[in-house]
Structure 1
Amino acid sequence: MKITQFYPLPAALLLLAPGVQAENAPATLVVSAAPAPSGLSELETPAAVSVIGGDDMRRAAPQINLSESLGAVPGLQLLNRQNYAQDLQLSVRGFGSRSTYGVRGVRMYVDGIPATMPDGQGQTSNIDINSIDHVEVLRGPFSALYGNASGGVVNVETETGSQPTRVQASSYYGSYGTWRYGLKATGAVGDGTQPGDVNYAVSTTRFTTHGYRDHSSAQKNLANAKLGVRIDDLSTLTLIFNSVDIDANDPGGLTGDQWRSNPRQVASNVTLYNARKTVKQTQAGLRYQRAMNENNDLSVMVYAGERETVQYQSIPRAVQLASAQHPGGVIDLTRHYQGIDTRWTHRNQLAGIPLTLTGGLDYETMTEQRKGYQNFTSASDLGNKGALRRDERNLMWNVDPYLQTAWQLSDKLSLDAGVRFSTVNFDSNDRYITALNGDDSGNARYHKWLPAAALKYAATDAWNLYASAGRGFETPTINELSYRAGGINGLNVALQPATSDSVEIGSKTRIGNGLFSAALFQTETKNEIVVDQSSGGRSSYKNAGETRRRGIELALDQQFAYDWRLRMAWTLLDATYQSNACGDESCRGNRIPGIARNMLYAAFGYQPDSGWYAGTDLRYMSNIAADDDNSAKAPAYTLVGLNSGYKWVQENWTLDLFGRVDNLFDRDYVGSVIVNESNGRYFEPAPGRNYGVGLSVSYAFQ
């Protein structure tokens, strides 16, 4: 029996995790860093996959936002909103671009624990870059096998401790009063092969900033820990802990004229009502893995967490008093979530053909206490919690059985096929009932079969061709269901889930010490969920009939002469409404707002293991429509960044000192847009030329 390294990936995509590998088993679909200890690589995966290593993400970087380092992933649009009250704006092939808060339409995991709730809403705020081992981004039809919110998948794996024990302190100081400092310790007792061997990794980070814009200061504390134990020769147990605490002001958006006259300003209501948000989240998980015998593996992941959010919005007092059904200008949420994912993998032969069969059950549930208050106590006391205007208990759960097979049809041809049956349930109990505000309780349930299949042909040992197809499923999130147009309370039960059919063909070629990949894709969506109205930080949603996304993705990661590296990514994405986005046919053919048609990233650097290093990066983003009419657009822009540093290695000590400059040519540009903002404040400005310096010091106990 041959034991290969087990990558603890989310179990929903069934073949994305190798376990015990029989000698005659087919090559499983694996998303792993290349080169991985087990010899697995992106080349073998019949899907659009990109992997970014943690060391690459930390090299000469602030280590504050994922947007710093994931530009090399084609199809991924990751924008820094300069607003830590609203998180990054992340979309994959256009899915998630409409989100005004957090991550929408993309499934996210951190160490196997979903960072996406059962309703499909997720966040990046609990990801500690200081402790990341690698990030995997899956695009295309196979992401459907992750269930709800499957426009794409972002999977974050943190470091696993190993010998020798190492401690590290790091810091970064940048423009606009930006500070980040962190501590990390990793190590192991034993080499992980004997019963009783233990590994550990602990990291903590604190971040503060005055913010580029007025009223955009923020502070965030992060902690991440992972403890692994080998129970016996065939099984391991891993304990995972994560915590985040955020306190951030919310600068909101600007009109085009406001942005051009003074991009650092905020609308008057923002300061008048002191728009802001606090978030506290703590979660823990336990993963058990066992090789039952030569042909069977078992994996069980259980987790639970709590997230508390209080948000003060800039909704005017007069608007709240105009209707007895208005839910107020303060959102107070407490969410408890938990889940279990059990997976069994079997390897054998059928009619002489090597076969891997994987089946499992994924269950997630979340209970939410949602309250709304007025953001004033009187006409002269604004920005403080006032009278109760909303009180409800929302329950969300999903249960998804899944099954997938991998067939090695010949030495060159393999087939992967699977299906997931997804059930998502929403139940809302209204506790705020008055003479003018009736009972708005309601419920909704959605079901969908999610099939996916891929055929891969190995033209040579270094060149693979593949074709894949799949169906995706995206329900309304509880935030999208929570508000009806006109500021009315109660679930927006008229919203229907969006269903997407995707096809893709691709090529991956190993060129020397690099990999070149290309993908051509098309996705057609029915009942696309889009922003109906957005004002004062609150949005309501509607279904927009049919949409179509089609495009090309190219990526190159090439190493030259050992120490020189070039990374490039280009995306051409045509995302348009096919019907009924504006209530009539006037928007047919219009671009879906929030999506750039062209994206280009290029980075070139000299990266030796020690001594001087330097690099530069270029980012191009074409214009982005901000509304369904396409009457307002954020202009295209090109940014250039430079970095240089010195890495000193002496016996057990490592010191890394660097400096960097971003937006070298001081371009004025809009970093992101708020889709369909009803007051025309679509634009969230980004900073001009800015600077930073960083230092890390580590010691290995050898």
Structure 2
Amino acid sequence: MKTFFTGCLTALCFSGIAQVKSDSTKKLNEVVIRPYFSAQPLIRSTGAIGVLDQTTLDKQPAGSFVSAINTISGVRMEERSPGSYRLSIRGSLLRSPFGIRNVKIYFDDFPLTDAGGNSYLNALDVSAASGIQVLKGPHSSIFGANSGGVILIQPRGSQPDSTALSLNLEGGSYGAFREGLSLNQQFNKYSLNITQAYQRSDGYRDHSAMDRKYFQTLHKWDYTKNAALKALLFYSDLHYNTPGGLTPAEYLQNPKLSRPAAGPSKSAIEQQAGIYSKTLYGGLSHNWQLSDRFKHIVSIFSSYTDFKNPFISNYEKRKEFTLGLRTFLEYEKKLTQANWKFDLGIESMETRSDISNYDNNKGLTAALKASDKLKAASSFAFAHLSIDVRQKWLFELSASANLYQYAYQSIAPVAIAERKNSFDTQFMPRAALSYLIGTQFSVRTSISKGYSAPSLAEIRASNNVINVDLQPEYGWNYEAGLRYQALNNRLLIDVTAFYYNLKNAIVRRLDQNDAGYFINAGGTKQPGLESTVSFWPIPTRTSGAVRGLQLRNTYTLSRFKFDNYIDKTNNFSGNALTGVPKTMLVSSADIQLPNQVYIFLQHSFTSQIPLNDANTAYAKKYHILQAKISWKNLRIGRTPAELFTGADNILNQRYSLGNDLNAFNDRYYNAAAKRTFYAGLLLRLNHL
């Protein structure tokens, strides 16, 4: 029955095309993106790009990015427990026991990913973002070291907003509560946004509570006709408990359990396992239009993170400081038959990490086990050439030279003087082409090289050993795609096929003490197919029982395999890539009714997931159904208001959203919440 629902909704997207009347002529806004320095229509993009605007984000549950980002084909985001994110683009989660690696993330003009290769995406509250663009596949040619892709996040306040002040209050199952406040003000040439948020939850599982306090401010000053300054600052104070993985027997008996004591190992509750992370991030950007043809942009940024992680076997403390710069010069020339742009720039940053591990005495630090100082330096120079011929052919050639090195110094248990390790300079090219046939149909192809050095958290993993033998992963990605946009932008079809051959893939292992470490596998072969179909059978209108209907479907096929992967006496060559479902399908319906009542329905299907490299254990396939109803045509006194309510996992599925891969003693499962409900109120003031 569940599969039938998926098929019906998918078929509806296509069958509805033939039912459109010829007099339905209302034109929707064209999707415009900014993937490579300048704006362009999505249909002309040379790459595979997923887009989430503010409207799309508002339809999803606001407590997490997971549901929204998973609507993008080829992207999988997980949440092992509230606040504990993992994310992959086209593949491997093997490198991420928690956190995000081999994906580069930018927050406005500033890299959120530090020089050590780590991205604290969970530091951001959902209300901090007004839009997200995901560039799928390696983009080391422009954005530096990444083998998965790039995520560009637009902060709140980066787009014009008529709402001067908004207040969002929301509560739900398992003690969930959210509060968000946003202020927008325009003073002649100066604009200001302040975003404040608080979120808490008791969690579905034992020992899975979380809370986050968040503050963000964005300032823009167009101080002259051709120059502007921008300043971004955010502070995040995040804490969440980590209940730990369950064995198959424990997961089937009671998925709400936290990890129990076993032999000499204490339980997650006894050890007060959790994450305490405080992050302060700031950036300053200057945009100067030197002339009609020249533009210069420079950004400086810095961050400081105080990170604590009491775990079952130890207590880790980290203090991390990052400082960096990104700048480029753009030259643009417009000719009769062609326009072209050339960008030349550099990005350089350094991250210093002081890491200490102690015995964990029931959530308190005890004897010092190890202490090290690490320093990562990441720099790359890049060039990008874009040639637009007759607004039909779009050629893009880009390349970067990547330099990466790290230094390490041991303080305890044995003092060792600082040593350095450098990787060879990597030349990372990308060549891409798109061709617009008429005004509605485009085809594209690209070839690019990906590169990702091991992160500091992989070089010094939880076994407290600095692994100087760990090497970067790299590979070539080949892809081709098409887009079709018709019926006044009411119909969009986007299909991409790709093949990624990754070498030296970095994979995680656990020792007999349940401590993690990383090795280089032989590689992976990753052929895949991604598609997105969006259609408005009923465009937005002012009359009728249904005032608008949008149907959307995304499909991901990942036939990823290990290639020439031998670990000790085990040969995993030809096995399915660990942690990657072969099929994902997301279908949704957005229904607009009179009096500004909106109903949003979404169904997600995920096929079975291999949990270890040997492919001897799999997580079962699952279906997730969610719904949200909102009523926007309300007023409290003179204040416009929106009332909304929603439900997640309506089918009450038992599933694990964030499996521990290659887990010791088969502790694979981190159970997600069963059926949940939420409701809230949004107040908006258009003038102060």
TM-score (normalizing by structure 2):
0.89
**Equivalent pair of 1:594/1:625 in contact (CA under 8 Å):** yes
Q: Is the 8 A contact 2:142 2:383 kept in 1?
A: no
How far apart, CA to CA, are the structure 2 residues paired with 1:216 and 1:403? 46
In structure 2, which of residues 321, 344, 348 is the aligned counterpart of residue 359 of structure 1?
344
Q: Deviations over 1:165-215 (max 9, x none)?
A: 61111111111111111111112123xxxxxx1111111110111110001
RMSD over aligned CA atoms reads 2.2
- Does the Cα contact within 8 Å between 1:161 and 1:201 map onto a contact in 2? no
Contact 2:81 2:242 in 1 (8 A): no
Query: CA–CA distance in 1 between the matches of 2:221 and 2:234?
Result: 18
Give deviations 1:418-440, integer Å, cap 9, x for gaps: 10011111101111144xxx638
Partner of 1:667: 653
How far 1:459 sits from its partner (Å)? 1.3
Counterpart contact for 2:140–2:146, Cα < 8 Å? no
Deviation at 1:247, TM superposition (A): 1.6
Aligned twin of 2:533: 556
Q: Distance in 2 between matches of 1:124 and 1:537?
A: 26
Deviates more, 1:656-665 or 1:406-415: 406-415
Distance 1:309 1:253, change over 3 A: same
- Residue type of the partner of 1:117? D
For the pair 1:399 / 2:379, whether they are aligned, the reply is yes
Partner-residue secondary structure (3-state), 1:271: coil
1:173 corresponds, among 159, 171, 174, to 171
- Which 10-residue stretch deviates more, 121-130 or 413-422? 121-130
Give the Å deviation of 1:536.
7.3
Question: 1:69 aligns to what SS in structure 2?
Answer: helix
Per the TM alignment, residue 578 of structure 1 is displaced from its structure 2 partner at its CA by 0.9
The yes-or-no answer on 1:72 pairing with 2:52 is no
Q: CA deviation at 1:609?
A: 9.2
Paired residues of 2:168 and 2:683 also in contact (CA < 8 A): yes
SS at match of 1:51: strand
Q: Distance in 2 between matches of 1:640 and 1:507?
A: 30
User: Corresponding residue for 1:256?
Assistant: 248
Runs (4+) off by over 6 Å: 349-352, 534-537
Q: Does the 8 A contact of 2:521 with 2:567 survive in 1?
A: yes
What letter is aligned with 1:416? Answer: E
Give the counterpart of 2:187 among 180, 186, 189: 189
Tell me whether 1:16 sits opposite 2:13 in the alignment.
no
Q: What amino acid is the match of 2:73?
A: P
Asked whether 1:110 is paired with 2:107, we answer yes
Amino acid at match of 2:645: G
Matches within 5 A, 1:157-556: 157-158=154-155, 159-160=157-158, 162=160, 164=162, 166-190=164-188, 197-268=189-260, 269-315=267-313, 329-348=314-333, 354-376=339-361, 382-434=362-414, 439=416, 442-446=419-423, 447-483=425-461, 487=463, 489-512=464-487, 513-533=490-510, 538-556=515-533
Q: Does 1:634 align with 2:619?
A: yes
Cα 1:411–1:214 change in 2 (3 A) is: closer
Counterpart contact for 2:460–2:467, Cα < 8 Å: yes
Check whether the contact 1:79–1:672 (CA below 8 A) recurs between aligned residues: yes
Give distance in 2, aligned partners of 1:581 and 1:653.
Answer: 65
1:163–1:117 Cα change, 3 Å: closer
Match of 1:690 among 672, 676, 682: 676
Pairwise CA distance, 1:665: 1.6
Q: Gaps spanning 5+ residues in structure 1: where?
A: 1-6, 10-14, 19-29, 31-39, 191-196, 316-328, 377-381
Instruction: Please give the alpha-carbon distance, in whole angstroms, between the structure 2 residues aligned to 1:213 and 1:440.
Output: 45
Asked if the contact 2:141–2:382 (Cα under 8 Å) also holds between the matched residues in 1, the reply is: no
- Pair 1:139–1:692, CA change in 2 (3 A): same
1:476 is paired with a residue whose SS is coil
AA partner of residue 452 (structure 1): R
The residue type equivalent to 2:64 in the other structure is N
Cα pair distance change 1:654/1:144, threshold 3 Å: farther
Deviation per CA, 1:618-648, whole angstroms, max 9, x where unpaired?
0000111111101111110011112212112
- Give the residue type in structure 1 aligned to 2:293: N
Q: Give per-residue Cα distances to partners, 1:469-513, cap 9 Å, x unaligned.
A: 0000011111110038xx3x4310111100111000000111322
**Structure 2 unmatched runs, 5+:** 1-31, 261-266, 541-547
Looking at structure 1, the residues matched to 286 and 594 of structure 2 have their Cα atoms a distance apart, in angstroms, of: 36
The residue identity in structure 2 corresponding to 1:632 is A
**Cα distance change, pair 441–83 in 1 and its aligned pair in 2 (3 A):** farther
Residues 1:144 and 1:405: Cα distance change in structure 2 (over 3 Å): closer
Shift, 1:144, TM fit: 4.7
Structure 1 394/622 Cα, relative in aligned 2: closer, same or farther at 3 Å?
same
Identical counterparts, % of pairs: 20
* Count of residue pairs brought into register by the alignment: 638
**Alpha carbons of structure 1 residues 131 and 383: separation in structure 2 relative to 1, 3 Å:** closer
Q: Which residue of 2 aligns with 1:3?
A: none
Conservation of the 8 A alpha-carbon contact between 2:140 and 2:449: no
Instruction: Name the SS for the 2:356 alignment partner.
Output: strand
**Displacement of 1:653:** 3.0
Please tell me whether residue 658 in structure 1 is matched to residue 657 in structure 2: no
**What TM-score does the superposition give when structure 1 sets the normalisation length?**
0.87
Pairwise CA distance, 1:605: 1.5
